[in-house]
Amino acid sequence: MEITSPSDLLPKDIYRQAAFLASKTSRASNADWYLEATQLKSQWHIWYDGGREVVSAIYSRDANTWKPGPVLSIAALSAAGEIEAELRGLLASGQFGYKPKSIGVIFHVADEFGVVDITPENQNPEEFEAVRRGLVEEPVAYLSDKKVNPENTAWRLLPFQDALENQQKAVAVAVSRERDKLKTLLEKFSVEHNFPLQLTVTSAPLEALAALNLILPETDRRGRLIVAVYARFTVLYALKPNGHLVQARSVNHRANSQIPPNLGDLIANTAMAVDMPDAMVFIVGASDTPSAPLLTELDNYSKTRLPIRYQWVDSRAIPEVEGMPGKRIEFLVHDVTRFDAIKKASGIPVNELSQLSWFLQDFADTGDAEASIYPTQSDMRLVQLSSLLSRVMGFGLVALLFYSLYTGYTIMKSDAWQLPPNEDHASVARMRTLLGEDQAMKFTNGLVYPRSRAWLVMDMLMNTFSGKPGLRVENFEYTIAPAVKQGAEKTAWVRTWKIKGFAQASASSSLEKLNSEKGISELFQEFYASSGDVTAQTAELTTRNIEVIINQSANAQYQRDLDPKRQARDSTAAYPVTFDAVITQYFDNKDAMAMDIKRPLSSL
Amino acid sequence: MSAYSGPIIKNGLIFPMLFLLMLIGGISYGLSKIKAEGAAREKTYAEYLIRVKNSHLLEAQLKPGRDRQKKMVELLKAEIKPSISKYLGESMARYKDKDYELQQVSMKHIEDRGAVGNMVQANLSKIQMTFRGGYGPMQETLFDLESQMPQLQMEKMVIARTKTFGVNQREALTFNVDYIAWKW
């Protein structure tokens, strides 16, 4: 699948391309695709100063070991086929001692170093972070020279931490973009072999400054000038006693010359410009001794103009570079262990060390990440998350589908589901019929319940009053009436007996005996026991209550010695006592006597 | 956010999730409908089983009483006054030509439903009867009547002595009896 810029694709095709890259390449699984070359475990360092030598070294970051890298000719740096062949060889040869999963290529540019001015309005140290980004993304706007061509050159900000009041606070370091071809080549190789290859282009003089500033012996209050002599140019750095950079200058060598013209003037003028006339001068080069032209120049200048105190520093003789291929001091800043030890030994506070990042900027960074045709690591994680979520939810969907099918099958196979509706309806109708029949029977039973039978009422009267010796009943009245209770579904009942009559003295005491709830209840209970009249039962029933009032008084017509004729004609005169009894029996609506108030079924 | 982020979020996360959620929602909805229908049918089936069981129990309970119920219904549907007259006639035949033992003085239908009738909704008739005679014959007669017509509920009875009765001036009793006759 050919990878197309997302700006030329529809959103769905962008996603399809990202999904393709996530599934068919290692971009989702190998985080090295998104790291800088200097952060990778396996690094290939290439140093070139424009002379006859190309220094090539491989560095295993984890093992912290340096080895000579593939031998590169000068021509190989611009010939794609050779670099590709060397890369293949590097992967196949096992030079790292293990199979690398990525390689960071760090190109140390030692054949050019330009210092250009940035506009006065961008000299505010507080805005240097924005200026740094600006020089990467839109350099012309920040440079004093507006005729420059960003297609050919890359610029990086170099701040002067302790610049004097009236001097520049920063300059821009310029490096040509010749390595863009190498970058394109590496990207192509990377894609073709699904193998992360990252390129970082650094400025060798700046790397050297980062290392030398920490390594060189401390000076007194005079400060120091570091003169780094390369094959094609010389860089001069002015640093305060505290190590802060205040000036940087670069002068190209003339053809066939190993030193810049008027080096003595350059050193003296720079020292004067930064107000450090007595500064210690360290001249750094990759040889045991200074070259003859250099010695001649400095000696002549000291004799004829101003004496220059200088110290020659052979960068290859620095103990910290021992064991590094080519003994390049520029490699030192990438050696995690050695450079950490140097930083620690320098005694410089950690916050000051952060300034070193200005010397290690990547000149290959176009800052145009948004325009990249490849997705970021976050994008790949999103694709992976999408894939994972889709799988989880897809699995959940399938599981739910099977669960639903199984559940549905189980439910539909149950007896409950199979029950024909007409059978259920028939059972309802049948039950309704039976309940109606039951209610009809109960209703009928309620109607014919023997709650008030005349012959039993008469029987009770005979057994209690009329039939008792010494008692004569004159009037008897019996009623049964419903008792109203609001909201009740059944009737309560009240039965009343009113009995008037006469009594002999002997019977009067038995009447007194009846004149109590206990007495009358016992009388009713006895009648229930003898007759079976369920309405007379009083014992063991809480739904019934009975009251009695019997008033006795002297019979005004009573004649003690009544002749037999009169007795036959008017027997009431033979009784000395009259009585008036009222018996009231209550049945509440929970008693068996109770009757439904409503007709239970309309169809009855 | 790169140029890929938006399309990935939209096409790789939001759309598939929405689609899957819709499917899951649809299936869940269908499942919930089947479960709800299943639960409803289970409930119906459980009720059906209980109903069938109770029907059998109720059937067994009702079966012995059906003949009696049939008779009772016939009884309750019968005309009251002719029935009373019929049964009184049969019972009082034993006192024929013995007026002093028991004599029916009157029998009339009362239109007012009275206190009972106003309270309950059951159909009823009210009959008021007056007899004159002895206590025993009256009790026997009413026993016969109430045995034949269990739907009769005596609402009121008044018994008073009558001093002159018959040729021999014998003492007799007057019975005023009010009946409620429950009807179908």
pLDDT in tens, B117-157: 888 888 999 999 999 999 999 999 999 999 999 999 999 99
Using an 8 Å CB-CB cutoff, list chain B residues near A451.
153
Nearest CA of chain B to the CA of A487: how many Å?
Answer: 12
- What the block records as the tokens of B44 is 């119906």
Using an 8 Å CB-CB cutoff, list chain B residues near A411.
34-35, 37-38, 41
Task: Output the pLDDT for position A370.
Answer: 43
Q: Which are the contacts of A398, defined by CB distance < 8 A and separation ≥ 6?
A: none
A459 interfaces chain B, CB cutoff of 8 Å? yes
B36 interfaces chain A, CB cutoff of 8 Å? no
H or E segment at A475?
A: strand A471-483
Using an 8 Å CB-CB cutoff, list chain B residues near A441.
62, 65, 69
**pLDDT value at B168 more than 70:** no
Contact A414 B35 (CB under 8 A): no
Contact A455 B11 (CB under 8 A): no
Using an 8 Å CB-CB cutoff, list chain B residues near A3.
none
Using an 8 Å CB-CB cutoff, list chain B residues near A408.
31, 34
Contact A419 B45 (CB under 8 A): yes
Alpha helices by DSSP H, listed for A25-116, are 80-93
A34 interfaces chain B, CB cutoff of 8 Å? no
Using an 8 Å CB-CB cutoff, list chain A residues near B23.
397
For B87-123, write each residue's pLDDT tens digit.
Answer: 999 999 988 777 668 889 999 999 888 888 888 888 9
Contact B34 A455 (CB under 8 A): no
What residues of chain A, 43 to 62, have a C-beta less than 8 Å from chain B? Answer: none
- What the block records as the tokens of A168 is 């520049």
A436 interfaces chain B, CB cutoff of 8 Å? no
Nearest CA of chain B to the CA of A266: how many Å?
Answer: 48
Using DSSP, state whether A143 is helix, strand or coil. strand
Assessment of whether the complete model's pTM goes beyond 0.80: no
A426 interfaces chain B, CB cutoff of 8 Å? no
Contact B8 A386 (CB under 8 A): yes
Task: Output the pLDDT for position B169.
Answer: 60
Nearest CA of chain B to the CA of A109: how many Å?
Answer: 31
Using an 8 Å CB-CB cutoff, list chain A residues near B153.
451-452, 480
CA distances from A320 to A47, A210, B25 (A): 18, 14, 68
Task: Output the pLDDT for position B171.
Answer: 76
Using an 8 Å CB-CB cutoff, list chain A residues near B16.
386, 389-390, 393
Nearest CA of chain B to the CA of A356: how many Å?
Answer: 29
CA A6 to the chain's CA centroid: 30
Using DSSP, state whether A86 is helix, strand or coil. helix
Contact B135 A378 (CB under 8 A): no
Contact B34 A484 (CB under 8 A): no
Secondary structure (H, E, C), chain B = CCCCHHHHHHHHHHHHHHHHHHHHHHHHHHHHHHHHHHHHHHHHHHHHHHHHHHHHHHHHHHHHHHHHHHHHHHHHHCCHHHHHHHHHHHHHHHHCCCCCCEEEEEEEEECCCHHHHHHCCCCEEEEEEEEEECHHHHHHHHHHHHHHCCCEEEEEEEEEEECCCCCCCCCEEEEEEEEEEECC
User: CA Rg, chain A, in Å?
Assistant: 61
Tell me which residue in A382, A454, A474 faces B12 most closely, judged by beta carbons: A382
Task: Output the pLDDT for position B170.
Answer: 66
d(CA A507, CA A466): 12
B168 interfaces chain A, CB cutoff of 8 Å? no
CA A435 to the chain's CA centroid: 62
Nearest CA of chain B to the CA of A550: how many Å?
Answer: 19
Nearest CA of chain B to the CA of A498: how many Å?
Answer: 9
Contact B119 A597 (CB under 8 A): yes
A413 interfaces chain B, CB cutoff of 8 Å? no
Tell me which residue in A378, A401, A447 faces B27 most closely, judged by beta carbons: A401
Contact B138 A451 (CB under 8 A): no
Using an 8 Å CB-CB cutoff, list chain A residues near B129.
none
Identify whether the C-beta of residue A511 lies closer than 8 Å to the C-beta of residue A550.
yes
Tell me which residue in A12, A382, A394 faces B20 most closely, judged by beta carbons: A394
B98 interfaces chain A, CB cutoff of 8 Å? no
Contact B38 A414 (CB under 8 A): yes
Tell me which residue in B17, B143, B159 faces A389 most closely, judged by beta carbons: B17
What residues of chain A, 484 to 523, have a C-beta less than 8 Å from chain B? Answer: 484, 491
B139 interfaces chain A, CB cutoff of 8 Å? yes
Residue ranges in chain A whose pLDDT is less than 50: 370, 602, 604
H or E segment at A183?
A: helix A180-192
Task: Output the pLDDT for position A574.
Answer: 87
Contact B73 A11 (CB under 8 A): no
Contact B7 A12 (CB under 8 A): yes
Task: Output the pLDDT for position A78.
Answer: 66
Tell me which residue in B54, B153, B157 faces A451 most closely, judged by beta carbons: B153
**pLDDT value at B161 more than 80:** yes
CB pairs under 8 A between A and B: 235
Contact B154 A454 (CB under 8 A): yes
d(CA A417, CA B48): 12
Contact A458 B138 (CB under 8 A): yes
